[in-house]
Structure formats: structure tokens, C-alpha cells
A and B are shown apart, each in its own frame.
Chain A
């Protein structure tokens, strides 16, 4: 029994032979609908912040530095490439590209930063009627937002009108702690 098993095992190994790919010299084709690095189109983006609100990794940050200027920052070092932002985006400004070889030394190399000039709505400051009909996909964080870009922290606090005090407060953001 032992010997027949061993013969069968030799055949099992011989038949497929060597299957290891000679990567990176030989590159297998990338599937067409791979969820790779997300690419942001600043021409299309309206700065609604839907992607930021629905990012499971909370790695898309929104900061209103003044009434007219909104900074959007995508931190690729924490991204899980789920493609949720691309699903949510009402303007299709985010596409999941097929680039996946994105290991790098500097965090900045996989960071996307967009500075958007925002018109002010006379009625409410910042308002978006999201095209989303799904009740559980609505935007929770409406109005002006003050995430801390240095610490890459999403802060769940918004205001209807631009509030310099909140902006200042978010500068000093620290994780709650009972450390001295």
C-alpha cells in the first residue's frame, strides 16, 4: 500500500511539472475588472464627500480650509481597495484602475490630494442632493468638514456654516487617552 501510494504521489507531482511563475520577468495578464489603485478625476469631482463618508477604511479625508476651498485627501497607505468610493461617487469621478504594483518608500507617492474651489450655496453653505436612492447609502456628514490631514484622522463633526473655531480645534486633534 505504501509503495503504490508513493508511486501515485510521484505521478501527481510529475504531471503538472513546474508551475511557479517567473515573476517579475514574466507577468500574468491583469483581469479587466481588477480592483486596483483608485484614480481620482479632479475635473469631475464636485467635492460632495460621499466617498469619504462611505470609505470603510476611512482613508479619504475632507477639510474645508475656508469658505471656498475644500481639500480632499486620499491616503493609499490605509486603502483596502474595496471600490466602495467608486460605487458611491455620483459623478463617476473615481475609477478602480488595474495598477497593483504600488509598493513604495514614501507614503506621499500613493497619496492623492485635490484642492477644489467650491461655490457657496446661498441657502445652506454646502448641500448636495445625492443621486442615491438607497436609504442606507445616504450621506451622513453634510456641510463643512474638518478632518485632520497631518494625522490622517477622519473627524465626525460637521457644521452648516463655515466655522473657523472648529477648524482650529481639528488642528489640535488628539486621540482620546488617559495618558499623562
Chain B
């Protein structure tokens, strides 16, 4: 009995009339429509059938039938299938039962939908704001179709996020919004008892850029990959590939095999450079800057290679819906082989020099431990999960592009700490070099781009996963009318991993905070207000948002800048 029939039978046995339909169109994706009363039960049945929770997607369907839609997505890793459980709630009564009590990693997805679409979740353990700014007005939901993409709401003063209450007997140490040991702005309130961390609360999303809104209102299908690339400075091709695959899957477009090979190669280049970058950053975070300098020296070769190949060091702009933009010529293939050889040699030297270094062991072994069960509960992804004995890799479990033809190992370790993450990422770099070589050897000839003959039909749903260097990215696309997607949901790998950070930090030393945080290779950005200290009086004050706006507008006439502000 196939997985699909098994699931259908179970759902109908338990939920009876609540199951509306089980779609049979796409062999890889199982779309299940349930009435909203049965959504929590349905998600329980799907997870007991062995599915792993991915993310939730909310969408605006008000114009069509006056409802807000909600999709919980799951992956069946054994049988290479996805389960999308769809439901909806009328806009007048937008409440759906929360699945977070059963699946803790759904917490952020649901909070995001509440912020952006106004769909509320009954029984959510922490129904706080997540994505929107603290002073965003109530009752305006930016992802709804009636809100324009460039809408500027009126700001409010003196609104602040209420942090979770500190556990008794602990002190709060704020880390961020800007902190020297973290390379992007974000805000953690860490609750410490002496040097031991007893909990933490996270407030981020402060520079939420609204990319999904922009791409569903302003630009057309083939421009989205270029914006998708800018979601992340490190795994750009991952997002562009995932989006393109989702659109191709929705449109039923088959791209040439050569394009799939080139995409695979671009993804592996990105993995090599990202893993080297992360190795350097990890070294830097534990105060071992030799590793930082050397790893980045080796990494520079791949940046130059990509510049020769694609015309840019990063944001390659190689991927389009329908294939890739540039071909691999025999000359560039020789160039790639030469660079791969250099990187392999250099990385071997670095690997040998640090693998037995006791100072690295002391800083990373036994640090940031969580058990395999916890990693599964919080649906961790990528090297962070593989370092906790969870054997998942989208490249092997849900092969896309040309990965079905590639032979590679997926390293899995079970020491559950930062050291295991480090080892996995170094081993994966060697594996990536192997994959690039296989791509070059096996690459078929022919076209590398195919055009769409007809318009992409509207209202098609598609989901894809792509294994980014730091974990698996999930993209969900609903196709729309005006040559652009109607809804596009991106779930980056940091989204689930960051939710488990409080758990990793629990009972660790405060000094290990940067490396634990760094071990998930977080990718976030946010901003906050600026505090100004008047040196003469020693008084500190906060610049309000209006003053900050005024300051930045006057920045072009330097004489008027901060000093005037302070004297005033």
C-alpha cells in the first residue's frame, strides 16, 4: 500500500467528514484539504505516519472565497514525498487551532502568519509579535492583498517588545542589537545565574524587508530569482534554485539536463565557500584567528572563480526559471578543476593542523549539547541536526537538480555538540569538491535554457526543498495571474534552527554564547534605536525614531550632525 493511500485511509478513519479531498495530481506532493476543525488532529496523524514538519504557509484568499488559507507542510524522508495539509478560516472569524503544542517548531510559523495575515491560533503557547515592528499599527496585515506593497504606516513612540519574564534568581544580560561577537544585528535577552545561562528570549526580524510581498505584487516570475538571491548573502543560489524549481514544478516545465548539472555545480560552489566562511567565523568566535585568516584565504579562490564564471563574486545571477543563464565552456571547466585541486590541498592542510588542536577541542566539545530527540522535536535541519545524529539531507532524501546521479557521503555524528558541527562542515566541503568533479565528468551536452511556451496557469501549488550549506530551505509557491506568483513562502534553514537556540544555551556557560550561536550559522538582520551618552554630564538618553530620521536626513550637511543634536 502506498504511503498516500495509507495516509488517506488513516485520515478518513479518524476525521471522517473533516477531510475534504486528497489530491492525486502530483506523485511527489500529497495535498490534503481538511476542514479547520480537524487541522490539529490531521497534523498529528501525519506526524505519527513518520512525516517531519517543515513549515506553515498562510495566504490571502479573501477575494476568491472570503477566507484566509493555512497550509502545514511536512516531508516524508523515506519515500521522497511532501505532505501539504491545507485548511482555511473565514476572514470574519480568523481562528484556527494551533499545532504548536504538538510541534514546537511550528511556533514561529504560526506567529508569522498571525502578524502578516491576521489569522489567529487558538492554544498557541506564546502568541507574541514576531515579524512586524513593535510600533506597527494593529489591524493592518501587510501580506493581505488590500495593503499596498509600499505602504508606510504611522510610527508610534515608546512602544517596546515585552521580553519574557526572567526566571527567579537570574539576571538579564542583553546581547545585541549590536554586539561585537555576532556579525549581524539581533537582540537576545539572556537570563543568567552567575555564569550559567538559564534561559533566553529572542527579538529579531527588525529589518524584515518584505521580499515576499514585493515579489508577489511588483515583479514577474523571471525577476524573482534575482531578488531571492538577495535573501541571503551566503546561500543565494539556493533560494534562486528553490524558487525556480517550485515554479517549474507548478508549471510542469522540464528543464534541460545540462542546466540541472550547472545548477548542482553552483550549489556546491556555494557550499564550499559557505563552509569555509563558517569555519573561519567559528575560529574567530573562539578567539582562534589563524583559522579565520587561513580559511578565508582559501575561500577567496572560489570567489574569484565564480567571478570569472558568472560575472560576480556572490549573487551569481545564474539561475532563471527554465534553466541557467551562462554555459560552462571547456576553458572554464579546466579552470574549475584547477581551483578545486588547490582548495582540496589547502583545506587538507588546515584540517590536519586543527583536527587535534586541544584548544579547539576545549572550546567546542561538549558545548551546545542537545539530544537527538530534542533535535527531532524541534525539527532541526542541516549540519546542526546531523551533528545530533539526525540523518537527513535534502540532496539525498529529496533529490533535485542532478543530485540523483551524484555519489556522495552524508556525514552524521552523534556527539551532539559544536565540535561535531565543525567536523561535519569540513567533511561536507570535501564531499562538495567530489560532487563538482562528478558534475564536470558526467555533464551532458545540449541546451542550458528552455523557454515557457504558454502562460503559467494560476492557482497551482508547489513545494520544493533545497539543501543549503546551513540546512534545508523550503519554498512554497502559489502561482498567480499577472505573470507573478500569488504567494511565495520562503523558509530559510535558520528559521527552525534559531528556535532551538534557547534549548542549546540552557545550562551552558555565558562565555560559550557566541560559539553556540555561531554553530547554527545564523542568518538574520535587525535594527534598533540608538543610545547616545553625553560625555560631559554622563547622562544617557535615547534618540527617538523621529529624531533619528531627522538626523539621517541631515547627514548630507555634516556640520548639523550629531553635535548639534547633543547640544540641543
B-contacting residues of A (Cβ < 8 Å)?
1-2, 4-6, 8-9, 11-13, 15-16, 19, 31, 33-35, 53-56, 58, 80-84, 87, 96, 133-138, 140, 156, 175-180
In whole angstroms, how far apart are the Cα atoms of A34 and B227 in the complex?
19
Q: A177-B152, A178-B137 are in contact. Are A19 and B297 (CB under 8 A)?
A: yes
* Cβ contact within 8 Å between B357 and A2: yes
In whole angstroms, how far apart are the Cα atoms of A34 and B316 in the complex?
11
Residues of A within 8 A of B325 (CB): 87
Residues of B within 8 A of A34 (CB): 307, 311-312
Whether a CB of chain A sits under 8 angstroms from the CB of B221 is: yes
Choice from B221, B224, B317, B456 contacting A35 with Cβ under 8 Å: B317
CB B297 to nearest CB in A, in angstroms, measures 6
CB A169 to nearest CB in B, in angstroms, measures 16
Q: How many residues of chain B have a CB within 8 Å of chain A?
A: 50
CB A72 to nearest CB in B, in angstroms, measures 18
* Cβ contact within 8 Å between A58 and B219: yes
Besides A19-B297, A134-B452, A176-B152, 14 more A-B contacts (Cβ < 8 Å) are A1-B356, A8-B349, A13-B294, A31-B311, A34-B307, A54-B219, A54-B220, A81-B312, A82-B315, A84-B222, A136-B321, A156-B218, A175-B150, A175-B151
* Cβ contact within 8 Å between A180 and B154: yes
Within B151-179, which residues are at the interface with A (CB < 8 Å)?
Answer: 151-154
* Cβ contact within 8 Å between B150 and A5: no
* Cβ contact within 8 Å between A13 and B455: no
* Nearest opposing residue in chain A for B224, CB measure: A56
Within B260-277, which residues are at the interface with A (CB < 8 Å)?
Answer: none
In whole angstroms, how far apart are the Cα atoms of A6 and B357 in the complex?
8
Whether a CB of chain A sits under 8 angstroms from the CB of B101 is: no
In whole angstroms, how far apart are the Cα atoms of A29 and B317 in the complex?
21
Interface of B, helix, strand, loop or mixed by DSSP: loop
In whole angstroms, how far apart are the Cα atoms of A1 and B115 in the complex?
54
In whole angstroms, how far apart are the Cα atoms of A31 and B196 in the complex?
52
* Nearest opposing residue in chain A for B221, CB measure: A136
Whether a CB of chain A sits under 8 angstroms from the CB of B376 is: no
Whether a CB of chain A sits under 8 angstroms from the CB of B226 is: yes
* Cβ contact within 8 Å between A179 and B223: no
Residues of B within 8 A of A2 (CB): 357-359
CB A44 to nearest CB in B, in angstroms, measures 22
Residues of B within 8 A of A180 (CB): 154
Q: Which of B222, B294, B310 has the most CB of A within 10 A?
A: B222
Whether a CB of chain A sits under 8 angstroms from the CB of B407 is: no
User: What are 13 contact pairs spanning A and B, CB under 8 A?
Assistant: A1-B356, A5-B353, A12-B349, A12-B350, A13-B293, A31-B311, A33-B326, A35-B311, A136-B220, A136-B222, A136-B321, A156-B218, A179-B153
Within B344-373, which residues are at the interface with A (CB < 8 Å)?
Answer: 349-350, 352-354, 356-359
Q: Count A/B pairs, Cβ under 8 Å.
A: 121
* Cβ contact within 8 Å between A80 and B230: yes
Residues of B within 8 A of A133 (CB): 451
Residues of A within 8 A of B252 (CB): none
Residues of A within 8 A of B451 (CB): 133-135, 137
Whether a CB of chain A sits under 8 angstroms from the CB of B454 is: yes
Closest 8 CB pairs of A and B: A35-B311, A8-B353, A134-B451, A177-B152, A5-B357, A56-B226, A135-B452, A56-B223
* Cβ contact within 8 Å between A178 and B153: yes
CB B389 to nearest CB in A, in angstroms, measures 27
In whole angstroms, how far apart are the Cα atoms of A97 and B552 in the complex?
33
* Cβ contact within 8 Å between A31 and B483: no
CB A55 to nearest CB in B, in angstroms, measures 7
* Nearest opposing residue in chain B for A105, CB measure: B556
Whether a CB of chain A sits under 8 angstroms from the CB of B290 is: yes
Whether a CB of chain A sits under 8 angstroms from the CB of B10 is: no
In whole angstroms, how far apart are the Cα atoms of A175 and B152 in the complex?
7
Residues of A within 8 A of B230 (CB): 80
* Cβ contact within 8 Å between A134 and B358: no
Whether a CB of chain A sits under 8 angstroms from the CB of B233 is: no
* Cβ contact within 8 Å between B226 and A80: yes
Choice from B218, B294, B353 contacting A58 with Cβ under 8 Å: B218
In whole angstroms, how far apart are the Cα atoms of A55 and B222 in the complex?
10
Whether a CB of chain A sits under 8 angstroms from the CB of B482 is: yes
Whether a CB of chain A sits under 8 angstroms from the CB of B453 is: yes
Residues of A within 8 A of B293 (CB): 13
* Cβ contact within 8 Å between A134 and B311: no
Q: A136-B220, A136-B222 are in contact. Are A31 and B154 (CB under 8 A)?
A: no
* Nearest opposing residue in chain B for A8, CB measure: B353
* Cβ contact within 8 Å between A16 and B297: yes
Choice from B218, B221, B326, B353 contacting A12 with Cβ under 8 Å: B353
Residues of B within 8 A of A140 (CB): 220, 482-483
Residues of B within 8 A of A15 (CB): 349
* Cβ contact within 8 Å between A54 and B294: no
Residues of B within 8 A of A134 (CB): 222, 322, 451-452
* Cβ contact within 8 Å between B354 and A5: yes
Choice from A9, A33, A83, A156 contacting B357 with Cβ under 8 Å: A9
In whole angstroms, how far apart are the Cα atoms of A150 and B311 in the complex?
31
Whether a CB of chain A sits under 8 angstroms from the CB of B308 is: yes
* Nearest opposing residue in chain A for B358, CB measure: A2
Whether a CB of chain A sits under 8 angstroms from the CB of B123 is: no
* Cβ contact within 8 Å between B317 and A8: no
Q: A137-B222, A179-B152 are in contact. Are A82 and B307 (CB under 8 A)?
A: no
Whether a CB of chain A sits under 8 angstroms from the CB of B90 is: no
Residues of A within 8 A of B444 (CB): none
Question: Can you list, as one digit per residue, whether each of B209-220 has a CB less than 8 Å from chain A (1) or not (0)?
Answer: 000000000111
Residues of B within 8 A of A58 (CB): 218-219
* Cβ contact within 8 Å between A82 and B152: no
* Nearest opposing residue in chain B for A2, CB measure: B358
Whether a CB of chain A sits under 8 angstroms from the CB of B148 is: yes
* Nearest opposing residue in chain B for A138, CB measure: B483
Q: Which of A31, A34, A81 has the most CB of B within 10 A?
A: A31
Question: Can you list, as one digit per residue, whether each of B452-463 has a CB less than 8 Å from chain A (1) or not (0)?
Answer: 111110000000
Choice from B218, B307, B317, B452 contacting A136 with Cβ under 8 Å: B452
In whole angstroms, how far apart are the Cα atoms of A42 and B483 in the complex?
29
Residues of B within 8 A of A16 (CB): 294, 297
